[in-house]
Amino acid sequence: MSNPDPALIEDYRQSHLGKGGQYDANLAAQPFDNYMAAWERRHLEEILWSIAPGGVGRALDFACGTGRITETVATFARESIGVDVSPTMLEIARSKCPATRFELVDLTSADPDVGQFDLITSFRFFGNAQDALRDAALDAIVRRLAANGRFILNSHRNPRALYARLQQLTGAADSGMDLHLPKLRALLGKHGLRIVLLRPIGAWMFRDRLMLDTPADSARARRFEALFGGSWLAPIAPDVIVVASHA
Ligand SMILES: C[S@@+](CC[C@H](N)C(=O)[O-])C[C@H]1O[C@@H](n2cnc3c(N)ncnc32)[C@H](O)[C@@H]1O
């Protein structure tokens, strides 16, 4: 599982300042992250087709990084904006998504008039960020989410996942993981959001060997994801996509 750099853990805002050049390659090189990234994209596309078959008006990708998720969102939106605090991550994003406007801005401390959004996404941010930053980010997001808008995020560092529990037993676990589903649900609720859809990923995954033998695009992965894709398995899945709306 990918962890934030412990030296920078005090403020997640600092975590990716110089990482733009390596981020995509690092993600692809880690079997866990590579698998989750592929399924995050697949689910996100499917969810967007189901909730907005005709596309959405305005979309914001918060903490967009290198544009991994922005690329998908941009094809569904008439106007898309990506924001991040890392210039090197944004440089890669700009090269991938020419139709998207990218802003180097921290919406948790600055308040530019970027308007309201029908869709806001934020991937691989909430699982890593500290509680105070999670709260500040949700404040910024909720204020900009249109009345009927949807907020889609993922949480990929679930300490209650089967996979993480086994790593805890063998001492290989990352002790910094704290965003289990009840905590995420409470956090969203505190900011006036309610969960309307959950898509667990990798709930079947309990040891590395099984994951290494199951490439994300294999028939076996599709079979496993279909079998273990019920929302009731989200509490024990290592990664989950969450769709939320105003409560
Ligand atoms: C692990 S990356 C995820 C990038 C992208 N969303 C993805 O899923 O590939 C987390 C990103 O959060 C950004 N970030 C951290 N704090 C932020 C903040 N306050 N506002 C915007 N971006 C922030 C980092 O710079 C980094 O690019």
Percent pLDDT > 70 in the chain is 95
Is the pLDDT confidence value at 106 over 90? yes
Please report where in the chains the tokens 């189901």 appear, as a residue.
50
Distances (CA, A) of 133 to 10, 107, 167, 172, 246: 10, 11, 27, 26, 20
Q: pLDDT tens-digit profile of 5-44?
A: 444 457 999 999 999 999 999 999 998 899 999 999 999 9
Q: What is the pLDDT of residue 111?
A: 94
Closest Cα to atom 23 of ligand 1: 63
Q: Is 37's C-beta closer than 6 angstroms to any atom of ligand 1?
A: no
Segment 159-187 shows an average pLDDT of 87
What predicted TM-score, i.e. pTM, was given to this entire model? Answer: 0.94
Q: What is the pLDDT of residue 135?
A: 97
Residue spans per domain, the chain: 6-246
Segment 166-174 shows an average pLDDT of 75
**CATH no. for 6-246:** 3.40.50.150
Q: Is 88's C-beta closer than 6 angstroms to any atom of ligand 1?
A: no
Mean pLDDT computed over every residue of the chain: 93
Q: What is the pLDDT of residue 194?
A: 98
Q: pLDDT tens-digit profile of 140-165?
A: 999 999 999 999 999 999 999 988 88
